[in-house]
Amino acid sequence: MAKSKSKSRAKAKEDVTTDNLGDRIFTTAKDTFGKQFKSVKQFLRGESEKLAITLRMIIEARIAGDVSEEEARILLNQQKIATSAVLTAAEGMSLIAVQSAINAALNVVRQFVNGKVGFSLL
């Protein structure tokens, strides 16, 4: 059991990159859903990648100076709302469970994303 916990911690500390944003978001959300994962399984991979695409776009736009902090927040919020709507549409899924999973998933990539955009987006 101690080995699995240390493996989990090592995985959690794995570096987040632009390329693995979607995977990190998916894995964390999946773990957060626990037994309820079955209800959202068919949607979670795609929604995780949509969040990652939005975050990548915001990072690139901030680096290029093409989007303000306010615009970045609006873009992220719109994607979070869309993700939440899709996942809560799954039978038996509550808004609280979905929001918890989204928040946990974004928390995992928080330091990486905030460092790239230059402000506290997440």
Domain count, the chain: 1
For residue 108, give the 3-state DSSP assignment: helix
For residue 107, tell me if it sits in a domain.
Answer: yes
Predicted confidence (pLDDT) per residue in 91-119, tens digit: 888 899 999 999 999 999 999 999 999 99
For residue 52, give the 3-state DSSP assignment: helix
Q: Domain residues for 55? A: 20-117
> How far is 98 from 15, CA to CA, in rounded Å?
25
In sequence order, the 6+-apart residues with CB closer than 8 A to the CB of 82 are: 50
For residue 3, tell me if it sits in a domain.
Answer: no
DSSP3 helix / strand / coil % (the chain, rounded to 5): 80, 0, 20
> How far is 60 from 45, CA to CA, in rounded Å?
22
For residue 4, tell me if it sits in a domain.
Answer: no
For residue 111, tell me if it sits in a domain.
Answer: yes
For residue 57, tell me if it sits in a domain.
Answer: yes
| pTM for this entry | 0.84
For residue 98, tell me if it sits in a domain.
Answer: yes
For residue 81, tell me if it sits in a domain.
Answer: yes
Predicted confidence (pLDDT) per residue in 20-44, tens digit: 999 999 999 999 999 999 999 999 9
Dihedral sign of CA atoms 63, 66, 68, 71 in order: negative
Nearest to 27 by CA among 115, 116, 101, 96: 101
For residue 106, tell me if it sits in a domain.
Answer: yes
